[in-house]
Structure 1
């Protein structure tokens, strides 16, 4: 008999900023109650690879009397462009969607970001519910209300904060994922372990293979613990004015790598490299112990994640990092660790320190 869903609650300053995150199996039946009685029309946005899943969600909604449509977008980061958002706006407009209607995202983090942005900008904001189908989407992108699209200048530089009405993290979706998708999604889980919950790291170290087994109790606990950390942080800091910045641990270099790779590298793989870089930077400036820095590499390698990147890309990476959202003027800022569960912001006084740290992960 399947376990009952776990409900984690984001508590914002207003009712519109507060919402449940359900984790469990077979969660589609909760959709009508979460949409509420005022919603008459729903647009289900899904990637090409999840056409069947998108159709299932649409049909579930049609069966309870809602007018449900689908909008198919390109897979992965190819879907996070202004032209794709414009296509979705066109569908909403031609079908007379009003402020009382809703958008549902079905897919990974890229779909969550795009659909959330579409919902945030249509009529200055309509209801959105996320149904993440990837591990990365469940533990990171779907929770928190950050939406965005990519431009030639960088990732997520255009976006909005738009909290969802709910998130349904249906664990059944993980059973169909390729192993590589599970592995890359683990990078965000590892990140959360280092910045907030050491038990996450211990669960992985005890059995790395079981940690990426889609049906295991261990993976469910890792997902719930990771979401719980994000729910807590987001509840305190919706718009990244304080502690929420710590969730970007490892992401400054990661986003620069994604830009350099023209978004052909999986986000989780880039984050894994970024975590190792942040650990080396913290070690080199005296904040992070040798033991903690080495633990990054050991855990990430045990999961099959990359820990090094090309030496010859430094100039491009530095340029990409200067566009980071956390930068203040010309000053680069990084999240580093003083201890497990004790992150801090480090303002880099000299880019030569970054270059020295990069040499430790270069290949």
Structure 2
């Protein structure tokens, strides 16, 4: 069984969540496509070979490109290598790129597709929780630079997205839990039922091995978070207004990633970022103390970190100034005016920023189940 979430943007597409989705994904490739580039990381080599075989059995040419794992693959050098393969393979505008992997791979594959010939089709096949609930959906693509994360990119919507839950059975528990940070975000900004589910099933969701019951819960959480994102991006693809709410916890989280030279998992950084945003909202009179503590309680129950070392404010503050939401010298944050009600906080008093930082740096980092 599978379920489908429709993204009703200017170029509508479907996100399918289920199992045994390789053949349906291959069948979704447009008939006009004669060549398919499969971008994958080393851990997905075998799955990439299977996918290539299925595509070639359909009468097309399939080319595998293996890229560095995680954020190391999101560079201009790796993108240029992919462009070179496309050029040597005579890729045309009717051909298709497939992103097979986690969030970094789908970001890269989407950017390569967006930039080649000013845009070719991309089909996303995310293999991690993070890729399924966030990176592969919504048409945001990008690579990193020495100055920050995702500073170079394009909006380029996929033709379709295939979230095959079979891939999660072999996903390390730490990666699964880190991906759940983005699911938690969806609960705080929109679907509060997500928070209820996690509070009830946190132990099973972070266990080394997923039971059948836990898989059912995980599927429900993934589908609900995708629906949150689908609703937002359908209304605001290019982040001119509403879509900014999807950055809850990301301003501080991305600053951690940059400061740590991407040695922290994205979900771990965003987890701390959400607590920072909650503390900032509380100090600004937007959010009550029980709601701040609910952030800590839920994230800690999953084994996600909620604190960050002290004495690193200057580096973090500099990194936040490069955030995509910043306008000139004006820092802008997504905060909550109560759970489920995200709003913008522009140019907060530096005293509030330091107060929020103090609140998340008052204890040693607690990694819990997540190896940062």
Interval of TM-score (by shorter of Structure 1 and Structure 2): over 0.9
Structure 1: gaps of 5 or more residues: none
Question: For 2:111 and 2:344, how far apart are their aligned partners in 1?
Answer: 28
Aligned 8 A contact 2:245 2:342 in 1: yes
Shift of 1:131: 0.4
Shift of 1:313: 1.1
Partner of 2:318: 319
Partner of 1:190: 184
Partner of 1:335: 334
Aligned 8 A contact 2:38 2:65 in 1: yes
Question: For 1:36 and 1:50, how far apart are their aligned partners in 2?
Answer: 24
Question: For 1:318 and 1:53, how far apart are their aligned partners in 2?
Answer: 41
Partner of 2:366: none
Partner of 1:67: 61
Question: For 1:60 and 1:168, how far apart are their aligned partners in 2?
Answer: 15
1:35 to 4, 29, 33: 29
Partner of 1:271: 270
Question: For 1:314 and 1:236, how far apart are their aligned partners in 2?
Answer: 35
Question: For 2:176 and 2:26, how far apart are their aligned partners in 1?
Answer: 29
Q: Deviations over 1:241-274 (max 9, x none)?
A: 1111000000000000000010111000000000
Aligned 8 A contact 1:210 1:218 in 2: no
Partner of 1:221: 220
Q: Deviations over 1:61-113 (max 9, x none)?
A: 11111111100100100000000000000000001000000000100000011
The TM-score, its normalising length taken from structure 1, stands at: 0.97
Q: 1:44 to 1:73 in 2, by over 3 A?
A: same
Q: Is residue 81 from structure 1 mapped to residue 75 from structure 2 by the alignment?
A: yes
Question: For 1:200 and 1:338, how far apart are their aligned partners in 2?
Answer: 18
Q: Is residue 10 from structure 1 mapped to residue 7 from structure 2 by the alignment?
A: yes
Question: For 2:240 and 2:272, how far apart are their aligned partners in 1?
Answer: 26
Aligned length: 357
Cα RMSD after superposing both structures:
0.9
The TM-score, its normalising length taken from structure 2, stands at: 0.95
Aligned 8 A contact 1:276 1:296 in 2: yes
Local SS of the residue matching 2:360: coil
Question: For 2:152 and 2:315, how far apart are their aligned partners in 1?
Answer: 21
Question: For 1:339 and 1:273, how far apart are their aligned partners in 2?
Answer: 18
Shift of 1:214: 6.8
Shift of 1:55: 1.1
Partner of 2:199: 205
